[in-house]
Amino acid sequence: MSALIETKNLHFQYLHHQSQNEWILNGIDLTIRNGEFIAILGSNGCGKSTLAKHFNALLTPSDGTVLVNGRDTNDEKNQFEIRKTIGMVFQNPDNQLISTIVEEDVAFAPENLGIAPSEIRSRVNWALDAVDMLDYKRHTPFKLSGGQKQRVAIAGILAMRPQCIVLDEPTSMLDPKGRSDVMKTICRLNRELGITIVLITHHMEEAARAKRVILMDQGQIASDDTPENTFEQIELLKKLKLDVPQITELTHRMRQHGILIPKRMVQIDQCVDALAAALEERYGHY
Ligand SMILES: Nc1ncnc2c1ncn2[C@@H]1O[C@H](COP(=O)(O)OP(=O)(O)O)[C@@H](O)[C@H]1O
Ligand SMILES: [Mg+2]
């Protein structure tokens, strides 16, 4: 897999930040490859959003470099191309919808890219279909649920045909159904369309769906590993004030009760299978 985003010794400080001596990003070395599904976790203020904005040149390094497909984000000539390559989705869907009709909203970005109308139409249909919102094409976004709005916002980014979508806490304002629909959409975009996903989240179960989890702490990378290995580091998670995922907690406590259940499980399905096997082991057919 080729490198899509590369940060090298990335340092960043906001010009008007109060603590002038501290780096907000303090030496981030990170390579994100095409097709990956990465989750970024870390407590409030550790620099997640600041890092995300470096991936599509919304911010540029104070020191060090960020390359997207080998192009330096510091070079203004590259920024247009970079913003087409790496799409961003933010927390509040209401701030990302502009038009009064769903399909017009999704067409907005490609129109700005100067794409031909017939091509825009096919992209809009394709993008709305990919987020399962094609039936709402002629609806007004304002009457949709939060989860539906967020999926329309994702379709608007998809219509630019990005290689990567960076989502900054996209489910934090949604109800459980909205969260689950948005997560299904994100997983499908990665699995079926091969779109690289960078998901910033507070929800451990969401991070567990990724293939790689990055823990951030005060502008640095504290861990970069599979979800299974990441969630085993209970002390580190606690130090960073992150929750232990419920599955980890549950299987940990079951082991303490002498139920033979393997470590390193992050998905409900794995847990159910292991629990069924442990029960069978103990009681035969139950
Ligand atoms: N526009 C800004 N100007 C000055 N400081 C900022 C700005 N945005 C964020 N910060 C500061 O940078 C630090 C990291 O913020 P952020 O990247 O938003 O963290 P996170 O997304 O992990 O919560 C925080 O201390 C925050 O107060
Ligand atoms: Mg943030």
AA identity, residue 60? T
**Residue of 188, 239, 265, 219 whose CA lies nearest to 63:** 219
Q: Which residues contact 143 (CB under 8 A, 6 or more apart)?
A: none
Name the closest-CA residue to atom 24, ligand 1.
45
Tokens found for residue 4? 């899509």
pLDDT for position 254: 84
Q: Where are the domains of the chain?
A: 1-89+164-174+191-227, 94-161, 245-286
Please enumerate in sequence order all residues whose Cβ is within 8 A of that of 251, keeping only pairs 6 or more positions apart, or say none. 261, 262, 263, 265, 271, 274
Question: 20: Cβ below 6 Å to ligand 1?
Answer: no
Q: What is the pLDDT of residue 144?
A: 97
Q: Which CATH architecture has domain 1-89+164-174+191-227?
A: 3-Layer(aba) Sandwich (3.40)
Residue of the nearest CA to atom 16 in ligand 1? 47
Adjacency order of strands within the sheet including 25-33: 25-33, 3-12, 63-68, 71-72
With contact defined as beta carbons under 8 Å apart, do 135 and 128 qualify?
no
Q: How far is the CA of 236 from the centre of ligand 2 (A)?
A: 20
16 lines ligand 1 (CB under 6 A): yes
Rounded Cα distance, 21 and 26, in Å: 11
**What integer pLDDT is reported at residue 256 of this predicted model?**
86
Amino acid 17: pLDDT: 64
DSSP string, 70-92: TEETTSHHHHHHHHHHEEEE-S-
| Model pLDDT, residue 11 | 98
Give the residue whose CA is nearest to atom 1 of ligand 1: 14
Q: What is the pLDDT tens value at each position of the chain, 286 positions in all? A: 679 999 999 999 998 766 667 899 999 999 999 999 999 999 999 999 999 999 999 999 999 999 999 999 999 999 999 999 999 999 999 999 999 999 999 999 999 888 999 999 999 999 999 999 999 999 999 999 999 999 999 999 999 999 999 999 999 999 999 999 999 999 999 999 999 999 999 999 999 999 999 999 999 999 999 999 999 898 899 999 998 888 888 888 888 888 888 777 778 888 888 888 888 887 876 5
Q: Which one of the ligands is nearest to 217 CA?
A: 1
Q: Which helix (H) or strand (E) holds 214?
A: strand 212-217
Structure confidence at residue 100 (pLDDT): 95
pLDDT (0 to 100) of residue 286: 59
Q: How far is residue 77's CA from residue 16's CA, in Å, rounded to a whole number?
A: 26
25 touches ligand 1 (CB under 6 Å):
no
- 45 pocket-lining for ligand 1 (C-beta < 6 Å): yes
Q: Three-state SS string across 156-171, please?
A: HHHCCCCCEEEEECCC
